[in-house]
């Protein structure tokens, strides 16, 4: 999935960020909220969501983020408690 078709540099940055997100979630089993906060911290933004509508700012960005989180999250956090995905 191409997120930034007109900017190869931004596309590479996003791909690197998603690789980092995968590693972060794989290692910590962070839930969706914590993963979202981690991505926003990396991008130095408040949210991937429009604050007025609570809808995704960009469907492709959100889909890429969610798919990356879901592929790394196996439902067991680091202390062994199961958390549904």
Instruction: Note the pLDDT tens digit of each residue in 26-79.
Output: 999 899 999 999 999 998 888 887 665 444 556 788 889 999 999 999 876 555
In a domain, 61, yes or no: yes
Q: Is residue 38 assigned to a domain? A: yes
Tokens of 62: 């959100």
Number of domains in the chain: 1
Distance in angstroms (rounded) separating the CA atoms of residues 24 and 1? 21
SS3 76: strand
Per-residue pLDDT at 83: 53
Is residue 82 one of the residues assigned to a domain?
Answer: no
Distance in angstroms (rounded) separating the CA atoms of residues 22 and 55: 23
- In three-state form (DSSP H/G/I as H, E/B as E, the rest C), the secondary structure along 31-66 is CHHHHHHHHHHHHCCCCCECCCCCCECCHHHHHHHH
What values do phi and psi take at 38, rounded to 5? -65, -45
């Amino acid at each position: 999935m191409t997120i930034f078709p007109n900017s190869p540099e931004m596309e590479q940055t996003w791909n690197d960020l998603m690789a980092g997100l995968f590693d972060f979630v794989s290692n910590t089993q962070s839930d969706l909220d914590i993963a979202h906060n981690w991505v926003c911290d990396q991008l130095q933004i408040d949210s991937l969501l429009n604050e007025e509508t609570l809808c995704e700012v960009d469907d492709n960005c959100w889909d890429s983020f969610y798919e990356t989180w879901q592929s790394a999250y196996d439902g067991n956090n680091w202390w062994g408690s199961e958390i549904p995905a």
